Amino acid sequence: MSEITIGQAVPDFTSPATGGKTIALAELRGKPVVLYFYPKDSTPGCTQEGQAFRDNFAQFQAHDAVILGVSRDSLKSHENFKCKQEFPFDLLSDPDETLCRLFDVIKLKNMYGKQVMGIERSTFLIGRDGKLANQWRKVKVAGHWAEVLEAIKNLAP
């Protein structure tokens, strides 16, 4: 599958989410959507990234933005992670890598000297019009939330 590029419409998707929800991209049209992919629940970098979005959630809400975290973890793992970290946003479970492949975030990574296929920390901003407005790949957690918020501020109303 080819990678979605900036300005291209993001294909509609439906995904199981925390809180017993099913999130459909089509239902979020009209709002900026932050879709951040992370490797694994409850690991240090992933926890810090989620906490940064949590701690600055009100600023995203002020722009009517929806934040969704995505990993291959189970819904049960997501529920525990969300509850423990008090995330005010939903986490999407993608065990079959449908979303991961749609956004081309499954990459060969080195883990403890072994090469494994895993999620490359990446964030995608989908504009109110349903088109990909911005993307960040190989994300460094520190300060990332601020870059995403700034991009939302620069979106067309």
Range of the domain at 144: 14-148
Question: pLDDT for 48-86, tens place per residue?
Answer: 999 999 999 999 999 999 999 999 999 999 999 999 999
In a domain, 9, yes or no: no
Cα(135)–Cα(120) distance, rounded to whole angstroms?
13
In a domain, 103, yes or no: yes
3-state secondary structure at position 127: coil
- Our answer to whether residue 100 is catalytic in this structure is no
CA atoms in the 13 A half-sphere facing the CB of 104: 9
Q: What is the CATH number of the domain that holds 142?
A: 3.40.30.10
In a domain, 3, yes or no: no
Report the Cα 81 to chain-centroid distance in Å: 15
In a domain, 153, yes or no: no
- Tell me: pLDDT of 107 over 60: yes
Average pLDDT over residues 4-31: 95
Among residues 28, 33, 35, 46, the one annotated as catalytic is: 46
In a domain, 114, yes or no: yes
Average per-residue pLDDT for the chain: 93
Total number of domains constituting the chain: 1
Collect all residues with Cβ–Cβ distance below 8 Å to 113 and sequence separation of at least 6: none
In a domain, 2, yes or no: no
**pLDDT at 113 (0 to 100):** 83
Q: What is the DSSP letter of 65?
A: -
Question: pLDDT for 123-146, tens place per residue?
Answer: 999 999 999 999 999 999 999 999
In a domain, 5, yes or no: no
Write out the H or E segment, with its range, that includes residue 84: helix 75-85
- Tell me: pLDDT of 1 over 50: no
